[in-house]
Structure 1
């Protein structure tokens, strides 16, 4: 399958089922996404005191399950939106872009526009246009009121490559000594360093090859702390990282996934959608 055609096709995870009447402009689709989702850790910014049990809504792996829970894509007050993470903003927008025939893929990496001097664990969308090629957009930020996330004059519909580091790029820069790994990770949990990066390197490869995992999915090399990785496993991550950084191409990403069984997501992550909670 031609590469752009692959990224026009829904994965098991992004398949939304029957959706009709969608706009085709990415900005309008991002607005739709923001009208039905709220980030569970940032709900307070929208005046929502999220009950603890609702945090489990972010466990909905599949877009069909999200839409079943929501009932429709009709915008609703913040308290009635599905409580999710950045991954879900990205995956739902990918699903809608693909539904209107636009190549799109979710990317796991680190955003440098939330905390000054720090690159925070984050997911965005990479989409294609004939005049621009692949470019990045942040559905979570793009669908929020201006200034909600303190991102300054960042255009969330056209994110510079140095403002969002796909995971492989972050790994390569830190391994080369060009970036301090202690400035990359999850600021809210005070988790930084190579172990934080290695998980997203593998999750990003999975997304590039058609499995948009949850941000806490752990398998293969991910659970083993970087400090305890044997040299050959670090070398394997050094091989994966440039593929993530380059966004493929698809054939290379698939060949890289096949290098070691520990890179491939477990089967349950690509099984048919579970029912909504």
Structure 2
């Protein structure tokens, strides 16, 4: 029996992932779409990540809450079990998923992703975190150290904090689209594992690539821009700090940029 084809949209945070999902949902109106968010839960115990117990509890609570709302299930294992029972040919799975967290069975995965210039992604993450902290009313917000530091320190201070406590952010893009371990050839890996991928800055090329493979023209969506951006440019010292922290992501981005 021929296997079902299922699109899996790996949404890398602050890489145009909301627009990417909208493109697929709007372009395949007859398809069911399954929203699964597991990255925060999967990554909170990653090697050398120092997240407070209160923050871990918040992540667990939010993950269970989302799972119950969408699937009437608590654990991610049971979410995937229910998804595997319900998934149909041509359906879409989307969410903040790392490539190695996908548990799809008896279907052919068509992996999709967009990545972004790591310098711009870090600046966007900083602005988003800063705004999130300022907008939260709960007195417990100070226990989310990542948000607290973004709101009270410079971008370089924010990067220093991440480097010390959550080094996963130094290879955040790679962690989502490549996996926990490095690979010897990034482009070879992407071409072997992804149905279609591209750069946020060249969405036109991504849309054209997908059209050639499927005869479906994705409709580009309006970007989801962080409101009240507090910082809009990078100084030379900030660029240097990012280049040292995000070396692997920058290398991956440049390899893809040269190849398209």
Q: TM-score range by the shorter chain?
A: under 0.3
Choose between structure 1 and 2: higher helix proportion.
2
More strand per residue: 1
Higher relative contact order by CA 8 Å / sep ≥ 6: 1 or 2? 2
